[in-house]
Amino acid sequence: MAERTDLRQRIAAQRAEREARALLRTRRTVLRRDGMRCEVQDGNGTPRWLTNFCGNDYLGLAQQFAVAAALQDASSRMGTGAAASHLVCGHHAAHEALEREVAEWLEVPAALLFGNGYLANLAVVQSLLGDNDVCVQDRLNHASLVDAARLSGCRLRRYPHADAEGALRQLRASPGGAAMLATDGVFSMDGDVAPLRELSLAARMQKALLYVDDAHGIGVLGPDGRGSVAEAGLDLRAAPLRLATLGKALGGYGAMVVGDAELVRHLAETARPYIYTTALPPAQAAATLAAVKLARREAWRREKLAALVARFRADAQRHGLELMPSDTPIQPVLCGGNATALAMSASLERDGFWVAAIRPPTVPEGRARLRVTLSAAHTDADVDALVDALAVARNRVGAAADSHVA
Ligand SMILES: *Cc1c(COP(=O)(O)O)cnc(C)c1O
Nearest-atom index, ligand 1, CA of 116 = 7
Give the Å distance between the CA of 222 and the centre of ligand 1.
19
295, 297, 382, 343: CA torsion to nearest 10: 20
184 touches 142 (CB < 8 A): yes
Return the number of other C-beta atoms located less than 10 Å from residue 47's C-beta.
12
Domains and CATH numbers, the chain: 23-52+299-405 (3.90.1150.10), 65-297 (3.40.640.10)
pLDDT one-digit tens code per residue, 192-202: 999 999 999 99
For residues 270-274, average pLDDT = 97
95 in a known ligand binding site: no
Using CA of residue 169, residue 119, residue 71, residue 53, what is the dihedral sign? Answer: negative
Give me the pLDDT at residue 26, please: 86
Instruction: Give the pLDDT band (50/70/90) at residue 34.
Output: very high
For residues 38-47, average pLDDT = 88
Of 74-78, 246-250, 395-399, minimum mean pLDDT range: 395-399
Percent of the chain with pLDDT over 70: 98
> Which residue minimizes the CA distance to atom 14 of ligand 1?
215
Task: Give DSSP secondary structure letters for 20-69.
Answer: HTT-------EEEEETTEEEEE-TTS-EEEEEE-S---TTS-TT-HHHHH
Instruction: Give the pLDDT band (50/70/90) at residue 271.
Output: very high
Give the Å distance between the CA of 270 and the centre of ligand 1.
21
Give me the pLDDT at residue 403, please: 46
Ligand 1 pocket: which of 122, 245, 280 to mutate (most atoms within 8 A of CB): 245
Give me the pLDDT at residue 42, please: 76
216 in a known ligand binding site: yes
Give the Å distance between the CA of 213 and the centre of ligand 1.
8
CA max distance for the chain:
68
> Which residue minimizes the CA distance to atom 4 of ligand 1?
117
> Which residue minimizes the CA distance to atom 5 of ligand 1?
117
Asked if residue 328 has pLDDT above 50, the reply is yes
CA 397 to chain centre: 29
Give the Å distance between the CA of 290 and the centre of ligand 1.
21
pLDDT one-digit tens code per residue, 159-207: 999 999 999 999 999 999 999 999 999 999 999 999 999 999 999 999 9
User: Of 168, 150, 157, 119, whose CA–CA distance to 135 is shortest?
Assistant: 157
Of the chain, the end-to-end C-alpha distance in Å amounts to 53
User: Which residues approach ligand 1 with their CB closer than 6 A?
Assistant: 116-118, 121, 142, 144, 184, 188, 213, 215-216, 245, 247, 255
For residues 309-329, average pLDDT = 95
Give the Å distance between the CA of 238 and the centre of ligand 1.
23
pLDDT one-digit tens code per residue, 53-105: 999 999 999 999 999 999 999 999 999 999 999 999 999 999 999 999 999 99
